[in-house]
Structure 1
């Protein structure tokens, strides 16, 4: 393994989630690659979302919790520029081998990645209340 691959794998740590012989390739990729990267990059995702609401949704802090949760989902699913920036934060921490796996089924893996990211930000929505 080259130096970059070793560094990335050491930085991300172990797989998160249960892997079995019956796990699909996508599920293995999700638990071995995506989950550790999402955990590692959590603060950056939160800062990115904070920047997004500052630039695009200034009334965010006055919304009800339900509307805030809807906005998180809508921003990540519908705002292509924001979505692509988030994907870049994840993909930049792939090894070359992982990237080759990713491009074989990027559509499905992108869905998994964005769904996990939506849930991650939603579960921390209370952190954005401090801005009021």
Structure 2
């Protein structure tokens, strides 16, 4: 069981690393793909804060839904495995899972927030741009 715990923790850590990298790339690609639209919205008077909030939501909501579903499936699988082998509830495992989830979520939201300067740079002085 210790080996299964170690592999599960390593898999969770790697999964959150991949998810954070994917979230960061998706957020940056979204800004670059829509730079003309974002620029025109800024010229029309839309606040950068509003654009940033919409950008974060469009990346974070699907990510949270997928991560939550995956986490729920993993917890259910672990529960069924523990029930099969007759193991009892492990408080330290639950704490480890909660910490791993919190660190992973923080990493993903940090990666999404990393494209905020890109949004600012893409939309600054848009009226002088030829686009």
Superposition TM-score tier, normalisation by shorter sequence: 0.3 to 0.5
What's the TM-score once normalised by structure 2's chain length?
Answer: 0.40
Larger Rg: 2
Q: Structure with the greater relative contact order (CA < 8 A, sep ≥ 6): 1 or 2?
A: 2
Q: TM-score, normalised by structure 1?
A: 0.40
